[in-house]
Amino acid sequence: MSTDQTFYGSDFGALSSFDPDIAGVLLSELDRIRGGLQLIASENMSSPEVLTALGSTLSNKYAEGYPGRRYYGGCSEVDKAEQIALERCTALFDAEHANVQPHSGASANQAVYGAFMKPGETILAMSLPHGGHLTHGSKVSFSGKWFNAVHYGVDKETENIDYDQVTALAREHRPKVICAGGSAIPRLIDFEFFRNLADEVGAIFWVDAAHFIGLVAGRAIPSPVPWADVVTFTTHKVLRGPRSGALVCTAEHAAALDKAVFPMMQGGPQMHTIAAKAVNFKECATPEYAAYATQVIANARQLATSLGEHGIRPTTGGTDTHLSLHDLQGVGVTGADAEVRADAAGIVLNKNAIPFDPQKPNVASGIRVGTPCVTTQGMGTSEMVTIADLIATAVIKGDADPGHAVSQQVRAEVSELVTRFPAYPRP
Ligand code: DSN
């Protein structure tokens, strides 16, 4: 290995001399992250090691193809990075095969359609308003425009997946692919049920694990890998890696999915991001990461319970994962108002439709909160009680105006909390 580490790519001093505008944005974004509470369930704070790999010269390399089978010369070093990432990914998830090239969760999902479906064929997936995802057949996405999407939802009473409806729809429509997973599902999914149903109707079983794959990596919840034909995921949520995607699958489907990622859906892979994924998979295999994943869930449970005590009702009664979805109708606030009031007080969260929501999606009756970031900062369950108090005060009594007395008071308390639990602590 070269010992010359004087230049590996990330030279902030050079950037700030050449381009103070963008250097300023990088610094002020760091200030923003450090200065508030980050409760977006799909975000996290990746390590300096991951960020170093991202800011490297591997970004320069064209490497279309796969390790040992590239369409360009000069791939010896990036081949090593991808091979290491593949080995770590398959080991982390006990998978038969991995593909670490998808640029995002949406790209990984495209590969599933590419591998298994022809335009016009049927997919059965969770509806977006009930917690699914745009790429699961929404009319505004390629998936709903080019494929026949049939959607299941949640039961009105339990607010959990309506498994009877899933069964009835699968038997009626005989889909080519059945998908489980989404972006606002607080509860564990019964993967064995979906496997058996897919076998009964002759469908491929796809799990979109983008949200919860980090909890699987940390062995904090059951894995979909033994049940699914293919599991797609993002690498930047609970998993805490670079902003990107990946998939794991059975050996039977490896060739079809590899061809669907490249050359069907993507061109040149982003080798710097693949190297960063390799670093992240190594991090996820440590006992520290397993403890983190367990704490993420404990924190999410506490946050959901404490918000419920303020009348901000958790749908399904709570959570088994890193996120909870809350119905604000009992406190007479919309999701959109809650989002701006929280933001004015230094708390970043998102409005979210709740199942059977009477509001339009851009207003919504709910909020979604998640604990990946605050757990990375070292906070525990007692801090979640405090955060619930702060959210409730900002949302119920606060205002969109950052100058409002309640916004200022909550922001001061947020500031005190994040000073004790800093993001990206200084050495
Ligand atoms: N946008 C992501 C989320 O926030 O859940 C899903 O793609």
Helix (H) or strand (E) holding 249: strand 245-249
**Is 234 among the catalytic positions?**
yes
217, 91 in Cβ contact below 8 A? no
Q: What is the enclosing helix (H) or strand (E) of 272?
A: helix 271-284
* Mean pLDDT for the chain overall: 97
**What are the tokens at 381?**
């369950």
**Ligand 1 nearest atom to the CA of residue 135, by list position:** 7
Evaluate: CB of 321 within 6 angstroms of ligand 1.
Answer: no
**Across-strand partners of 98?**
248
- The yes-or-no answer on residue 259 being catalytic is no
Whether the pLDDT of residue 36 is over 90: the answer is yes
Average pLDDT, integer, range 78-93 = 99
Decide if 10 contacts 276 (C-beta within 8 A): no
Question: From the alpha carbon of 350, which atom of ligand 1 is closest?
Answer: 4
pLDDT tens digits along 258-296: 999 999 999 999 999 999 999 999 999 999 999 999 999
C-alpha count within 13 angstroms, C-beta hemisphere, residue 125: 32
Is ligand 1 within 6 A of the CB of residue 42?
yes
Ligand 1 neighbour 135 (Cβ under 6 A): no
Range 349-364 average pLDDT: 97
8 or 168, greater pLDDT: 168
183 lines ligand 1 (CB under 6 A): yes
Distance of CA 186 to the CA centre of its chain: 13
Q: How far apart are the CA of 42 and the centre of ligand 1, in A?
A: 6
Whether 208 is catalytic: yes
Q: Does residue 237 carry a catalytic annotation?
A: yes
User: Which atom of ligand 1 lies at the shortest distance from residue 134's CA?
Assistant: 7
Q: State pLDDT tens for residues 388-418.
A: 999 999 999 999 999 999 999 999 999 999 9
Confidence of residue 225 (pLDDT cuts 50, 70, 90): very high
Tens of pLDDT along 97-147?
999 999 999 999 999 999 999 999 999 999 999 999 999 999 999 999 999
Q: Which residue has the tokens 């745009």?
A: 134
CA–CA dist 297, 299 (Å, integer): 5
In this structure, the residue with its CA closest to atom 1 of ligand 1 is 42
pLDDT at position 330 over 90: yes
Architecture of the domain delimited by 54-284: 3-Layer(aba) Sandwich (3.40)
User: Does 54-284 match 290-420 in CATH topology?
Assistant: no
Q: What is the pLDDT of residue 12?
A: 87
The span from the CA of 186 to the CA of 243, in Å, is 22
pLDDT (0 to 100) of residue 2: 63
127-140 tens-digit pLDDT: 999 999 999 999 99
Query: In this structure, which residue's CA is closest to atom 3 in ligand 1?
Result: 42
Partners of 230 in the β-ladder: 206, 249
Domain ranges of the chain: 54-284, 290-420
Residue 343 appears among annotated catalytic residues: no
Q: How far is the CA of 67 from the centre of ligand 1 (A)?
A: 30
Confidence of residue 6 (pLDDT cuts 50, 70, 90): low
Q: Are 165 and 157 in contact (CB under 8 A)?
A: no
| 289 catalytic per annotation | no
> What is the mean predicted confidence (pLDDT) over 46-75?
96
> How far is the C-alpha of 235 from the C-alpha of 229, rounded, in Å?
19
Residue 5: per-residue pLDDT: 65
Give the confidence band of 7 by pLDDT, cuts at 50, 70, 90: low
pLDDT band at 11 (very low <50, low <70, confident <90, very high): confident
Q: Which residues of 347-356 are buried (b: 16+ CB within 10 A; e: fewer)?
A: bbbbbbbbbe
Is residue 65 scored above 70 in pLDDT?
yes
Residue in this structure with the two tokens 């022809």, named with its chain if needed: 118
Would you state the CATH architecture of domain 290-420?
Alpha-Beta Complex (3.90)
Query: From the CA of 148, how far away is ligand 1's center (Å)?
Result: 23
22 pLDDT higher than 80: yes
